Amino acid sequence: MLKVEHLTKMFGGLAAVNDVSVEFETGKINAIIGPNGAGKSTFFNLISGLHQPTSGRILLDGADVTTLPSDRVARLGVGRTFQTTNLFEQATVLDNLIVGHRLRTRSGLWDVLINSKRLQREEKAARDKAMEALEFVGLSHVAGQFIADITQEERKRVAFALALATDPKIVLLDEPAAGINPEETVGFAALMRKMVDEKGLTVCLIEHKMDMIMSLADKIMVLDHGEKIAEGTPEEVRNNPVVIEAYLGGDEDAAA
């Protein structure tokens, strides 16, 4: 599905991501963990084309997407969410979501001027897609409310729905469970599982909530100082001494 080869990103003299190679399989939940500043978000930005890598390759279904800009990558089926999502606060949830399907439409200025059949058809498709995504994340009941009036947890779900409305094959989720309570976290884990099971999506997520990751992820990659220090099933990663050292800072501490 998504294959990354020797990916490196330098910011000045600092290697934010250093020679990382990894493969994410179709229909799996892949987690990326690591201490703050390990390069996790940069890694996502490289895949989604927001940053251009210094070296290395990114292959999506075998096609080289390394140097493509972000919008092209999105059109090829890479959806993503951000740690914070700025939406139009004084517009309804549904209105905010309709644009999610824009990348699958072609209407331009001329269509707007003459209100063409194509525009009408595409706007209906975009609206239907938004409703479908909203229903998938369980928020149909707030479709008509302003973004400003919904809860933090609902906002996070809206961000999911927005990514889903782009019809992605793979979704990159940057700390989806940050800032929500444990009960809601369980709900999000179920939602991610549903994305894989019902939509056949490949999920990649960055997360700090270990109990959630350990029960949810099929595969975990651990980054530290921009380098991949471990990779494997939750069980393997949990018992990896290098990971324990990275998190707890030394053997003696870990033993103690």
Partner 1 sequence: MFKFASLLMTPAAKYLMLAFAVLFPLVAANEYQVYVMATAFVWAIAVYGLNIITGFCGQLNLAHGGFFAIGAYTLGLLTADYGWSFWPAFVGALVMTAVLGFLVGIVSLRLKEHYFAIFTLCVGFIIYLLIDKWEELTHGAIGVRDIDAPYGFGLVDFTETTPFYYLVLAFLVFAIWFMGRLSKSLLGRTFIAIRNGDELAQSLGINLMRNKVLAFVLSTTYAGLAGALYAGMVRFIGPDAANIQHTFDMITYLLVGGIGTIMGPLLGTVGIVWITQSLQFLEEYRMIIFGPLLVLLVIFFPRGITGSFLTWMHRKSQALAPAKKRQERKVDTAQNREAESNA
* Residues lying near partner 1 in the complex (CB under 8 A): 48-50, 69-72, 74-75, 79-80, 82, 85-88, 90-92, 95, 98-100, 102-103, 105, 107-109, 111-113, 115, 119, 122-123, 126, 144-146, 149, 162-163, 166
Instruction: Give least dist CB 239 to partner 1, A.
Output: 36
Q: How far apart are the C-alpha atoms of 105 and 129, rounded to whole Å?
A: 12
User: Between residues 6 and 72, which has the closer beta carbon with respect to partner 1?
Assistant: 72
CB of 210 to partner 1, least distance (A): 27
Q: How far is CA 12 from CA 26, 49, 57, in A?
A: 35, 19, 20
Q: How far is the CB of 69 from partner 1 (least distance, A)?
A: 7
CB of 240 to partner 1, least distance (A): 32
CB of 149 to partner 1, least distance (A): 7
Closer to partner 1 at the Cβ: 35 or 138?
138
User: What's the chain look like in SS3?
Assistant: CEEEEEEEEEECCEEEEEEEEEEECCCCEEEEECCCCCCHHHHHHHHCCCCCCCEEEEEECCEECCCCCHHHHHHCCEEEECCCCCCCCCCEHHHHHHHHHHHHCCCCHHHHHHCCHHHHHHHHHHHHHHHHHHHHCCCHHHCCCEHHHCCHHHHHHHHHHHHHCCCCCEEEEECCCCCCCHHHHHHHHHHHHHHHHHHCCEEEEECCCHHHHHHHCCEEEEEECCEEEEEECHHHHHCCHHHHHHHHCCHHHHHC
Query: What tokens were used for 93?
Result: 């949830």
167 vs 227 by CB, closer to partner 1:
167
Q: How far is the CB of 218 from partner 1 (least distance, A)?
A: 24
Q: Which is closer to partner 1, CB of 85 or CB of 240?
A: 85
Q: Report the nearest approach of partner 1 to the CB of residue 162 (Å).
A: 7
Q: Between 123 and 184, whose beta carbon lies closer to partner 1? A: 123
Are 94 and 125 in contact by the 8 Å Cβ rule? The answer is no
Residue 6 or 124: which CB sits closer to partner 1? 124
45 versus 185: smaller Cβ distance to partner 1: 45
